[in-house]
Structure 1
Amino acid sequence: MPYSSLFRSEEMSLIQLYIPQETAQLTVAELGELGLIQFRDVRISQLNPDVNAFQRAFVNEIRRFDEIERHLRFFTSQIAKSDIDMRPLAGDASNVRIRNANEIDDLEEKILEHERRITQMNSSYETLMKQYLELTEAKHVLRETAVFFKEAESRQDDIRNSFDEPTAPLLESEAQQDTIEQGEPLSFHHLNLGFVAGVIPRTKMQTFERILWRALRGNLFLNYAEIDELITDPSTDEMLEKNVFIIFAHGRELLNKIRKISESLGATLYPVDSNPDKRRDSLLLITGQIEDLNSVLQNTKNARVSELSGVANELAVWITIVRKEKAIYHTMNLFNYDVSRKCLIAEGWCPKNDIEQIQNALRKVTEESGSTVPSILNELRTTKEPPTFHRVNKFTSGFQEIVDAYGVAKYREVNPGLFTIITFPFLFAIMFGDLGHGFLVTLAALYLIIREKSLDKPGKSEFLEMFFGGRYIILLMGLFSMYTGLLYNDVFSRSLE
């Protein structure tokens, strides 16, 4: 690395590129991988000052890739929701080549087909889960109401004796009185009682009771039981605790009022027959339906996981392709289109020492594409102040970022990053100085440096990314801390002597 590139920023040149339309995409992609040009928006120059963001040449292409990105975000959320591991990108993003127009069309069609199938599976699975939820709740309602009815039958003697008292329940006909006197089983029909049964979230149970008591003025009998298992809400996948309830009351008006209050609080009502034989038959039927539905749900889930696993194997490559294509068109929107010459005109800043490397890249694209018209590079004279560019490597990049966090030096100004390589670790060591602790810090930094090839991959956590980026800073901090710890005669907060 040249001395001047560290002590002072690189000398920059303003260049102008004439790129043939047929090779524009490949040229921008190659220059992007090179990473040596900071393109200017020619809209602010004399070329096309009146063009706004919505009148750029490649707005439709960018919108198209925005839509494809939306589909890919949908895949990412579905894969994460299903706890499926996404295959990481093999190697660096630079290894993923850009696609031509036909390949992009095929990729978009493939992505849309995957989304259609996954959406259809999700819809089918949600519908089946709703049916499963309804059947599960109906099963619990039949089981618990059977207990309620059994308790009511065991108290028929108390009810029968109450008819001889002045405060006996109201009877609408003598036939009901005859039924009691003949000792026949007492039914809710004979007592002129109706009932409503259903399931309600446990958190709303107390509110439900209070509202019913006030709305019906106590003219009801409510019984409820807790469901032992958690019920899954198919729309949110939230696990809910629910209660089964049954409410007895006189008259249709009261029963209709109970139904309206129940539904307003999110309760689900289920039909229950007062005949125990019919209830038993319904329970057996529902149990069989649940078993059949379980089998269908498992098959649907397996098919969905298989589809998502196939997408997960290619998703990282698709995301990289779309991001590259979108970045290319964003960059090409900074250019001006010359209709007469059928070429794109671009301007940008680049290091003066790298102009030859850029020209080699342009020739490479021309040769590989088989174009008869080469791209042309002109170096422009300008009075504008060039941007500051410090050439860094993996050792100096961390120190340069510390300096840039406080402020970027002006063009060709002395770079404080050179001195920070020594001053920052040394000032840290003055405060931290300990031979033992410094040794541990050095070991941690050496581990990150030795394994940097395996650790330098996308997908790292933010915490690990931060430590990995500053591994050489941590190394010098550890070495300087060992030195100052030796001067301080301090090892793990204890004296050497």
Structure 2
Amino acid sequence: MSLIQLYIPSDVARYTVSQLGELGLVQFRDLNAEVTAFQRSFVNDVRRFDEIERKLRYLRAQIDLSGVEVYDFFDDRFVSTARGPRDIDDMEERIAAHEGRVQRLAAAYKEMHANHIELVENMHVLQEVSSLFTEITGRHIGSMDAAGAFDVELGASAAAAAAAAGRDINIGFISGVIARDRIATLERVLWRSLRGNMFLNYIDIEAPIQDNTAEDGAAPVYKSAFIVFAHGDSLRDRATKIAESLGATLYRVDPRAERRQEDLIDTMSRLDDLRLILDNNAVARANELAAVAEHITTWLAIVRKEKATYHALNLFNHDANRNCLIAEGWCAANDIPAIQSALHLATEDAGSTVPTVLHELRTTKQPPTFVRTNRFTEGFQNIVDAYGVPKAGEVNPGLFTIITFPFLFALMFGDLGHGFLMTLCAALLCIYEKKLAWMAKDESMRMFYSGRYIVLLMGIFSMFTGFIYNDIFSRAMSVFASGWAWPTTHGGEGVIVEATKLAHTYAVGIDPAWHHASNSLLFTNSYKMKMSIVLGVIHMTLGICLQVPNALHFKKRINIIHVFVPQIIFLFSIFGYLVFTIIFKWSTDWYARDAAGQLTHISPPSLLNMLIYMFLSPGSVNESERMFRGQAFLQTFLLLTALVCVPWMLLVKPLIMRREHRKITSEGYGRISSHVRVSTEADGMAGAIIVAEQEEMQADDFDFADIMINQSIHTIEFCLNSISNTASYLRLWALSLAHAQLSEVLWSMIFLPTLKITGSYKPFAIMFGFAVWFVLTFGILIGMEGLSAFLHALRLHWVEFNNKFYDGTGVKFEPFSFKAVLDEADDQ
């Protein structure tokens, strides 16, 4: 990685950043970290494009609400090249004009739509409430006041009695519509509030009606038309307030039938006119939004690019004397020629004669980590980055993960049939990856799509290990001649028979005869358990050995002699010896001929007991655990060697560092500082100053106690982890055993019984049994077991492998890229 400095003329700055954004190769540094966001030079430009983006979001929301189709079309000439100020101004004017017209049409539509709803409700009230007046017969309806009250003469006798008492009976009503689910509440509240001095009747409206108070796009609700009779103005006013508080809409209804009919005809006529106006408004708004939909994708991309451009410009220093901007950024050293070419194109686009000057700075700052990946290696690198981003120059575990991760997964998942199904699914994802690119936008499917090549290798490796395990859907394959021969006559079901060992062995993998043996589980357990230990020690050894290139790169040779060497000796003294005894035990023929010439089986030693007594009884070996001559002496020597490595790892490095520190301070170098200032003239910019990073190291900062504590932690952690990490690789055996046994259970309990059925429905039973077996195999063994093996393989890499050499304290290289800006906006 290189730290570059750019001197950009002010009139070329926007074009330069635009070209670099299209290129996506430079990560700019913030040179105004002490300046707040509101005090930076281009904050007004950022606000301008924020406002334009707001308008586009509003237009996009209106397009989605209206159901207008959006064209995913980009004007490459306008989007992929730097836009001039006039182009931006014209685009802004067009967007503002579209927004104004759409807002006016939307406001008019909303107002007319509210009027339409009121007319519809009024029409239903006039239609439904009219039937309620027919119940009042033989009564004279007097004059109606402004509140909708009217006098009713109840009869001559009642009128005379009322006149004699000096009282005037005034009965009136209110009417309107309310949500159907609130009519019962309205009735109860009115009855209690008016103390029963009311009469309410209602009729349900069949068609649902849009609510005026609801948001746009809300579903219509079912309502009821009601009428409430009460006497006295105060009771009617109280009833009105209660009804409105429950969301009712009140409408004035004339008590006279001929006037109600006239009002109904007038309302329906106004509804017809309003529907015509609404239709015309909808057509006009749809046409306007259709014109916007043709360009909104392009406009959004441009606005987001321009806003990102000004955000980047806010990271630069402004040199008012030279009328230029000063920028710094990280880039790959190999990409500098491409960056210079982009700067030249930016100068041509701006029509300027003053070019941008690029200088490469010398610095001791820690650069961001840039790892070039492709669609194949990207998934594996993501696994590593999830643990920690490598430092610049540090060994990247992603290179080894490409092989070790699918291999360790396959050791736990190994089955030729299951691996084939997984490979088939992953191959389809890889072949049709362009057609299935939509999966990357779906949060739940993104993991499978981005990891398609990981799954492909996991499936291929699982087919290989399945072939070695001789497992295909829990069945054995007789590819080569077996090394065991079964008797030709078994003597009936339930009779115990023994296989005869032949002179040859099975060519590749596990002999299929073990699948039928009663001690098959004992054999495979022992085989896979020891295999897990051997492969685990090899994997950890690789991790320890990778300390060497790290130490050479960072010029810390002390880590090679006093960290790597004692660690590798300690590991080999104990677990390397265990691997040796495992291979020795595998290579030894534990059959011997007695005096009569008959083959007799010799009980092999228990390696677990041997390793335990190596620590409990050093210098002695039980006869039952003896494997070769000199075993006791070798075990004692290895144990003493391992013990010597502990103080070697613990003390030697800190003591050497203290000696070097005292040597420096005794010679008077209490403070060492280094800085470089280089003055240069280049490309018409006289006196351009390149200032390299300044670093100071104080010898007084050396603290032997801190170094000693840190070294003690690392030593204790390594010694203990050597045991726990080795045991952790036994998960390779455990998950492989679980996978094989679960596969055997599904076969023997679901599909195999259908093959033994007799009768005419046997074919249907076989089809049904196969379908259930296949679904469970795919869902449980490939889906759930595959995910379990994936997580365990992930743990073996993060904990057992990476911690041997990998710090993962780097910062990921994130260049300024328009593609990343647009992808992030799409995700949001």
TM-score range, shorter chain: 0.7 to 0.9
Give the deviation of 1:473 after TM superposition: 1.9
CA separation of 1:95/1:326 partners in 2, compared to 1, >3 Å: closer, same or farther?
closer
CA contact (8 A) 2:344 2:355 kept: yes
Q: Does 1:118 align with 2:99?
A: no
Give the deviation of 1:392 after TM superposition: 0.9
**Correspondent of 1:229 among 182, 204, 207:** 207
Q: Does 1:357 align with 2:338?
A: yes
Distance 2:318 2:352 in 1: 18
**Correspondent of 1:42 among 24, 28, 31:** 31
CA contact (8 A) 1:220 1:247 kept: yes
Give the deviation of 1:277 after TM superposition: 2.1
Q: Secondary structure at the match of 2:135?
A: helix
Distance 2:399 2:438 in 1: 28
User: Could you list the per-position Cα deviations for residues 19-75 of structure 1 after superposition, in whole angstroms to 9, with x for gaps in the alignment?
Assistant: 11111111111112221111111125xxxxx53322211111001011111111111
| 2:54 matched residue in structure 1 | 70
**Correspondent of 2:20 among 22, 31, 34:** 31
Equivalent residue runs for 1:230-245 within 5 Å: 230-234=208-212, 235-236=214-215, 237-238=217-218, 239-245=220-226
Q: Which moved more, 1:124-133 or 1:233-242?
A: 233-242
CA separation of 1:311/1:455 partners in 2, compared to 1, >3 Å: closer, same or farther?
farther
CA separation of 1:455/1:343 partners in 2, compared to 1, >3 Å: closer, same or farther?
farther
Equivalent residue runs for 1:253-402 within 5 Å: 253-402=234-383
The higher relative CO (CA closer than 8 Å, separation ≥ 6) is in 1
Distance 2:272 2:54 in 1: 38
**Correspondent of 2:410 among 429, 442, 447:** 429
User: Could you list the per-position Cα deviations for residues 266-314 of structure 1 after superposition, in whole angstroms to 9, with x for gaps in the alignment?
Assistant: 1111111222222222222222222222222111112111211221121
Equivalent residue runs for 1:141-220 within 5 Å: 141-153=125-137, 176-178=154-156, 192-220=170-198
Larger Rg: 2
Q: Secondary structure at the match of 2:155?
A: helix
Distance 1:247 1:140 in 2: 16
Equivalent residue runs for 1:383-462 within 5 Å: 383-456=364-437, 460-462=441-443
CA separation of 1:151/1:482 partners in 2, compared to 1, >3 Å: closer, same or farther?
farther
Q: Secondary structure at the match of 1:42?
A: coil
Distance 1:78 1:99 in 2: 27
Give the deviation of 1:94 after TM superposition: 10
Give the deviation of 1:200 after TM superposition: 0.9
**Gapped runs of 5+ residues in structure 1?**
1-11, 45-49, 161-171, 182-189
Q: Which moved more, 1:115-124 or 1:224-233?
A: 224-233
CA contact (8 A) 1:93 1:320 kept: no
The aligned amino acid for 1:388 is T
**Correspondent of 2:458 among 477, 481, 484:** 477
| 1:60 matched residue in structure 2 | 44
| 2:66 matched residue in structure 1 | 82
Give the deviation of 1:424 after TM superposition: 2.8
Distance 2:439 2:303 in 1: 17
Q: Which moved more, 1:369-378 or 1:85-94?
A: 85-94
Q: Secondary structure at the match of 1:356?
A: helix
Distance 1:479 1:389 in 2: 30
The aligned amino acid for 1:256 is D
Distance 2:362 2:181 in 1: 74
CA contact (8 A) 2:3 2:361 kept: yes
Distance 1:126 1:215 in 2: 36
CA contact (8 A) 2:75 2:298 kept: no
User: Percent sequence identity over matched residues?
Assistant: 53
CA contact (8 A) 1:98 1:321 kept: no
CA contact (8 A) 1:33 1:94 kept: no
The aligned amino acid for 1:210 is R
Give the deviation of 1:95 after TM superposition: 5.4
CA separation of 1:287/1:367 partners in 2, compared to 1, >3 Å: closer, same or farther?
closer
Q: Secondary structure at the match of 1:198?
A: strand
Q: Tell me the number of residue pairs that the alignment of Structure 1 and Structure 2 aligns.
A: 457
Give the deviation of 1:368 after TM superposition: 4.2
| 2:671 matched residue in structure 1 | none
CA contact (8 A) 2:427 2:456 kept: yes
Distance 2:155 2:130 in 1: 26
CA separation of 1:415/1:440 partners in 2, compared to 1, >3 Å: closer, same or farther?
same
User: Could you list the per-position Cα deviations for residues 389-429 of structure 1 after superposition, in whole angstroms to 9, with x for gaps in the alignment?
Assistant: 11111111111112111211112101111122223333443
Q: Which runs of 4+ in 1 moved over 6 A?
A: 91-94, 493-497
| 1:19 matched residue in structure 2 | 8
| 2:810 matched residue in structure 1 | none
CA contact (8 A) 1:98 1:324 kept: no
CA contact (8 A) 1:434 1:486 kept: yes
Q: Secondary structure at the match of 1:462?
A: coil
The aligned amino acid for 1:118 is V
Distance 1:493 1:437 in 2: 10
CA contact (8 A) 2:426 2:456 kept: yes
CA contact (8 A) 1:398 1:469 kept: yes
Distance 2:447 2:83 in 1: 33
Query: Normalising by the residue count of structure 2, what TM-score does the alignment of the two structures yield?
Result: 0.52
Equivalent residue runs for 1:94-113 within 5 Å: 96-113=80-97
CA contact (8 A) 1:98 1:325 kept: no
| 1:169 matched residue in structure 2 | none
Distance 1:61 1:459 in 2: 33
Q: Which moved more, 1:63-72 or 1:191-200?
A: 191-200
The aligned amino acid for 2:71 is R
CA separation of 1:459/1:64 partners in 2, compared to 1, >3 Å: closer, same or farther?
farther
